[in-house]
Amino acid sequence: MSSTSITTITGITVDDIRFPTSKQLDGSDAMSPDPDYSSAYVIIHTDNPLLEGHGHSFTTGRGTEIVCAAIEAHRHLLIGRTLEEFISNPGAFWRHLTSDSQLRWIGPEKGAIHLGLAAIVNALWDLYAKREDKPLWRLISDLTPEQFIKCIDFRYMSDVITSDEALKMLKELEKTKSERIKQLEEQGYPAYTTSAGWLGYSDEKIQRLCREAINEGFTHLKIKVGRDLQDDIRRLKIIRQEVGYERRIMVDANQVWDVNQAIEWMKHLVEFSPYWIEEPTSPDDIIGHAKISQALKSYNIGVATGEHGMNRVLFKQMLQANALQFCQIDSCRLGGVNEVLAVLLLAAKFQVPVCPHAGGVGLCELVQHLSMIDFIVVSGTWENRITEYVDHLHEHFEDPCIIKNGRYVAPTRPGYSTQMKAFSRQQYSFPNGSIWKTNP
Amino acid sequence: MSSTSITTITGITVDDIRFPTSKQLDGSDAMSPDPDYSSAYVIIHTDNPLLEGHGHSFTTGRGTEIVCAAIEAHRHLLIGRTLEEFISNPGAFWRHLTSDSQLRWIGPEKGAIHLGLAAIVNALWDLYAKREDKPLWRLISDLTPEQFIKCIDFRYMSDVITSDEALKMLKELEKTKSERIKQLEEQGYPAYTTSAGWLGYSDEKIQRLCREAINEGFTHLKIKVGRDLQDDIRRLKIIRQEVGYERRIMVDANQVWDVNQAIEWMKHLVEFSPYWIEEPTSPDDIIGHAKISQALKSYNIGVATGEHGMNRVLFKQMLQANALQFCQIDSCRLGGVNEVLAVLLLAAKFQVPVCPHAGGVGLCELVQHLSMIDFIVVSGTWENRITEYVDHLHEHFEDPCIIKNGRYVAPTRPGYSTQMKAFSRQQYSFPNGSIWKTNP
């Protein structure tokens, strides 16, 4: 397609899509015993009937309608705008989408309004990548450092990183970019699995899933903790017996503890050598995470957080305060690709590895691109970096992620791998899809 | 009414109510040039047809429908519950309302879902106060310290304040409570006005409004800054000429600056001796506010923030980090009365004065109660404390706040002063009220 043609945004379609996952205890953790993995889903239509962008924001059932309303609320900021405006200055377009003076009140840049924004921004990047006939990771890897910088709104970041400084970092790595693209295409990006670790699974199921994970080539496994200490110890024993000590185990408390409680609880798990403790307390508590990081340092346990990290201002501070040792961006909670790129830059500046959150529905499809961009363009390394993978609901996507030997295979199809199959969207549409009509 | 009768919640009514204030530039600041002051409004109905609770969450126009959807999403957590459950343990009931495992994802405890919660919690307290036939400030002042503590969910606070410590603080002040009630009823609670300070007003209008404020007994005035430095200097000159240096002037940037920019800009305003700079940067930036506080200390300018402070975890850290010298709670952004009480306790522990944010529509009616509770029960003082007042839209309320000699008069009518007149609710209902039908 000619890059000089003008593509105008003509409409959006918003869908509330829910999968009744709560029936199987998949995804059960200390805070979320019964999620129904869901998508607040948006299609951006253009005056080119062959070109549409798909984006979504992950949710867990009830409340998806609120995020859908948040997407709808951005309609007037999109209709009549062109894809070329977005492409020529993605950062300015992002600022435009986050600066509606009335919508801003109910964030700013957090909660439902920001989740809604994320779905839209992800759809814009899908649209852009489809038009350029490239997978997103490749589209962004092919940008010049100057173009990359233009994707980012540096508002509220300049005390820690300026665009000039970021440009210098990117230029330094640009020289070796093509080597890393080759490496990635040959080897894939390192992943870890959470499949075995949900609360509520039987011991036999845990053992079986551990063995499967090893057979599939995974070297890192994560399990949920925090509901009952004795149960955590019992499950960690089982898992260590299955996977040995040459593989890494991470534990995830899903925000269930207060700060001091987190430190005390983790002392009881030291013998199992967890690589990190994830979300030990409120995701908003920078100072709390810093205290926990400090306390667990001598045990060689890192702190990981970010799946509920609401925006770049939170991540900036988490990094400033040494509050995390693993930075877990979320592709749909941050304001889509643009803000993720901002956090990748911040993390690279502080030399903290980015290990994205995934699972749910559609998140693995998205984060693979983001980790690959981090590797090729921003941090330049996959040392100590692993991206979450859960083998769940991929069959509903047009371009499902592929795992080989415990690594994400670089996507080759154009777009951001966001597009859900039309039949799945229909069937799981809430409350009128056939799945919900028959199993209300 | 007998306190042993059981009152069951039978339903909720949710309304989107908007006032077309953007037409007058009232409320125009550096980030919000054109707000339509609005309410996401809820009525909690009970099986007693004479007893209902009214609550609202303030918004600025577009997006109110998202907060209304968030209120609706809590319906299943309310219907069938009793007022007595709430009264017997308000903190546990609050935890119940914030712990829906699926809704939690789209916060947690921030943004639209938390604004929706606030409306509901405010309505519950209105219901409770009406049943006890007391204004809210008096109802809570009459609680024992033990009952007060039970209003609070201490989750994520215990590293800074425990319930035992809070109890001790409250008991210490209890002895002198009745003196302060008397003082309050005689003198009212100190207020300040923002009426003169909006961006976009002419010089003549500013001068006139300053003189009116002085005549009305105000000793503290606030103005908006941050859009244009020369304009700020010009307006501050006019205002200082009108009010002299024996009165205090506060300035409010509404988040428009980056951290270092805030420090530089404020250095140019030092000659006007601002008492505080409000919202100098992102409301989420604890470390940034701490840096600004530190830099402005030698100029004797304090930092005020909190109107966008999303929850107690943010305030906890702002206080831990010495990031604010004036704590501006918002009655509808925090999760209603319960979480406000938590922040009052935190601020008292750090000996930081609480100066609530108000204005908008209905906020003055609410915050007067909260400041009075702070004075009587929690901090025990009104030294250095002032509560915002804007003379705007009070006529729509059944129990409008009353200002005398620049002070809030203690309300006497039962409830939380939340109830909007039925006719106003009808007229300004969006999009079908008569105001919007004739002025779309």
Q: Quote the pLDDT of residue B34.
A: 86
d(CA B163, CA A201): 36
Is residue A66 within 8 Å of B69, Cβ to Cβ?
yes
Q: Quote the pLDDT of residue B27.
A: 67
**pLDDT grade, residue A2 (50/70/90)?**
very low
Q: Quote the pLDDT of residue B1.
A: 45
Q: Quote the pLDDT of residue A1.
A: 45
For an interface test with B, the pick among A68, A114, A159 (most B C-beta atoms closer than 10 Å) comes out as A159
pLDDT tens sequence across A197-214: 778 788 999 999 999 999
Note if the pTM is more than 0.95. Answer: yes
Q: How far is B63 from chain A (nearest CA, A)?
A: 5
For an interface test with B, the pick among A106, A198, A289, A315 (most B C-beta atoms closer than 10 Å) comes out as A106
d(CA B324, CA A258): 24
How many beta carbons lie within 10 A of that of residue B55, not counting itself? Answer: 30
Residues of chain A contacting residue B75, judged by C-beta atoms under 8 Å apart: none
Residues of chain A contacting residue B316, judged by C-beta atoms under 8 Å apart: 285, 287
Token pair for residue A339? 């803000």
As a whole number, mean pLDDT of residues A154-164 equals 98
As a whole number, mean pLDDT of residues B234-248 equals 95
Record: contact B311-A284, CB cut-off 8 A = yes
Nearest CA in chain B to A162: B258
Residue extents of the structural domains in chain A: 169-424
Residues of chain A contacting residue B320, judged by C-beta atoms under 8 Å apart: 287
**pLDDT grade, residue B33 (50/70/90)?**
confident
Distance set, CA B376 to CA A149, B181, B191, B380, B389 (Å): 53, 6, 16, 5, 20
Record: contact A287-B34, CB cut-off 8 A = no
Q: Which residues pair with B42 in a beta bridge?
A: B14, B55
pLDDT tens sequence across A81-133: 999 999 999 999 999 999 999 999 999 999 999 999 999 999 999 999 999 99
What does A378-392 look like in DSSP terms, one character per residue?
Answer: IS---TT--EEE--S
Nearest CA in chain B to A98: B31
Q: Is it the case that residue A264 has pLDDT exceeding 90?
A: yes
Type of residue found at B249 = I
For an interface test with B, the pick among A66, A117, A317 (most B C-beta atoms closer than 10 Å) comes out as A66
Share of chain B residues as helix, strand and coil, in percent rounded to the nearest 5: 45, 15, 40
Q: Give which of B272, B343, B257, B348 is closest to B307, Cα–Cα.
A: B343
Nearest CA in chain A to B114: A111
Q: How far is A303 from chain B (nearest CA, A)?
A: 17
What does A160-218 look like in DSSP terms, one character per residue?
Answer: T--HHHHHHHHHHHHTTHHHHHHHHHHH-EEEEE-TT--TT--HHHHHHHHHHHHHTT-
- Relative orientation angle of helices B336-349 and B90-98, to the nearest 10 degrees: 110
> In whole angstroms, what separates CA A426 from the centre of its chain?
25
Q: How far is A297 from chain B (nearest CA, A)?
A: 19
- For chain B, the average pLDDT equals 95
Pairing of the two strands B38-46 and B9-18? antiparallel
Q: Which of B357, B369, B392, B396 is catalytic?
A: B357
Tell me B106's DSSP state.
G
Q: Give which of A438, A354, A419 is closest to A39, Cα–Cα.
A: A419
d(CA A327, CA A334): 13
**CATH architecture of the region B169-424:** Alpha-Beta Barrel (3.20)
Token pair for residue B150? 């039970």
Q: Is it the case that residue A4 has pLDDT exceeding 70?
A: no
Token pair for residue B277? 């700079």
Q: Is B16 helix (H, G, I), strand (E, B) or coil?
A: strand
Q: Environment class of residue A175 by beta-carbon count within 10 Å: exposed (0-12), middle (13-18) or buried (19+)?
A: exposed
- Relative orientation angle of helices B111-131 and B336-349, to the nearest 10 degrees: 100
Nearest CA in chain A to B283: A108
User: What stretch of H or E contains A222?
Assistant: strand A220-224
pLDDT tens sequence across B413-433: 999 999 999 999 999 999 999
Residues of chain B contacting residue A159, judged by C-beta atoms under 8 Å apart: 258-260, 288, 291
Q: Give which of A205, A232, A193, A198 is closest to A35, Cα–Cα.
A: A198
Pairing of the two strands B189-193 and B387-389? parallel
pLDDT tens sequence across A265-299: 999 999 999 999 999 999 999 999 999 999 999 99
pLDDT tens sequence across B361-405: 999 999 999 999 999 999 999 999 999 999 889 999 999 999 999
Residues 6+ apart with CB under 8 A from B321: A287, B286, B287, B289, B290
Q: How far is B349 from chain A (nearest CA, A)?
A: 17
Q: Quote the pLDDT of residue B419.
A: 98
Radius of gyration of chain B measured on its C-alpha atoms: 21
For an interface test with A, the pick among B282, B289, B312, B318 (most A C-beta atoms closer than 10 Å) comes out as B282
d(CA A41, CA A419): 9
pLDDT tens sequence across B62-91: 999 999 999 999 999 999 999 999 999 999
Q: Quote the pLDDT of residue A33.
A: 76
Q: Quote the pLDDT of residue A26.
A: 66
pLDDT tens sequence across A211-236: 999 999 999 999 999 999 999 999 99
Record: contact B106-A155, CB cut-off 8 A = no
Q: Is it the case that residue B440 has pLDDT exceeding 90?
A: no
**pLDDT grade, residue A24 (50/70/90)?**
confident
Record: contact A101-B32, CB cut-off 8 A = yes
pLDDT tens sequence across B199-226: 878 899 999 999 999 999 999 999 999 9
Record: contact A63-B317, CB cut-off 8 A = no
Q: Which residues pair with A43 in a beta bridge?
A: A13, A54
d(CA A23, CA A26): 8
pLDDT tens sequence across B141-150: 999 999 999 9
Record: contact B108-A255, CB cut-off 8 A = yes
Q: Give which of A278, A205, A288 is closest to A242, Cα–Cα.
A: A205
- The CA angle B425-B431-B433, to the nearest 5 degrees, is 40
- The CA angle B250-B284-B273, to the nearest 5 degrees, is 15
Q: How far is A133 from chain B (nearest CA, A)?
A: 33
Token pair for residue A205? 């199921």
d(CA B23, CA B4): 50
Smallest Cβ distance to A313: which of B60, B66, B282?
B282
Nearest CA in chain A to B259: A159
Q: Quote the pLDDT of residue B199.
A: 80
Smallest Cβ distance to B106: which of A33, A59, A287?
A59
- Report ipTM (2 d.p.): 0.96
Smallest Cβ distance to A103: which of B63, B281, B310?
B63
Residues of chain A contacting residue B32, judged by C-beta atoms under 8 Å apart: 101-102, 104-105
User: What stretch of H or E contains A224?
Assistant: strand A220-224
| Residue B224 appears among annotated catalytic residues | yes
d(CA B396, CA B25): 20
pLDDT tens sequence across B289-331: 999 999 999 999 999 999 999 999 999 999 999 999 999 999 9
Is residue B285 within 8 Å of A108, Cβ to Cβ?
no
> In whole angstroms, what separates CA A85 from the centre of its chain?
26
Q: How far is A3 from chain B (nearest CA, A)?
A: 35
Q: Is it the case that residue A329 has pLDDT exceeding 80?
A: yes
Side-chain half-sphere exposure of B222, counting CA atoms within 13 A: 26
Q: Quote the pLDDT of residue A91.
A: 98
Nearest CA in chain A to B38: A102
Smallest Cβ distance to B31: which of A101, A115, A288?
A101
Is residue A143 within 8 Å of A157, Cβ to Cβ?
no
Q: Is it the case that residue B94 has pLDDT exceeding 90?
A: yes
Token pair for residue B89? 């343990």
User: Max Cα separation, chain B?
Assistant: 64
Question: What per-residue string of b and e applies to A21-31 under the rule 16 or more CB within 10 Å gives b?
Answer: bbeeebbbbbb
